[in-house]
Amino acid sequence: MGVNQPDPRCGTPDPTSCDNNGLCNGSGACQLFDVNTVCNTSCDGLLPPTFTATYCDGAGTCGPISTAQACLVCGANGCVL
């Protein structure tokens, strides 16, 4: 398999795991989700609420990289207002 080609041996991609992204790395192994992949989101219950997105570390772990944004209203993928 060539790099960035789907590889059935890599399983079904699940960004929350930060594990295999379903593509071949070109060396016979599976690629991991990169550092731009959101693996977890949350919104605290404070007023105003804060939406937090946590990112894969590129080595198969979710976090510790995260961003936080104060909102008027949180949605599933970020601030709505």
Number of domains composing the chain:
1
pTM of the model: 0.84
In a domain, 80, yes or no: no
Angle at 61 between CA 55 and CA 64, to 5 degrees: 50
Please name the residue that has the structure tokens 């008027």.
Answer: 72
Least confident of 2-6, 27-31, 59-63: 2-6
Query: In terms of residues, how long is the chain?
Result: 81
Question: Is 35:58 a contact under the CB 8 Å cutoff?
Answer: yes
Confidence label for 1 from pLDDT (cuts 50, 70 and 90): low
35, pLDDT greater than 80: yes
pLDDT one-digit tens code per residue, 38-78: 999 999 988 899 999 999 999 999 999 999 999 999 988 88
Phi, psi for 8 (deg, rounded to 5): -60, -20
In a domain, 66, yes or no: yes
In a domain, 3, yes or no: no
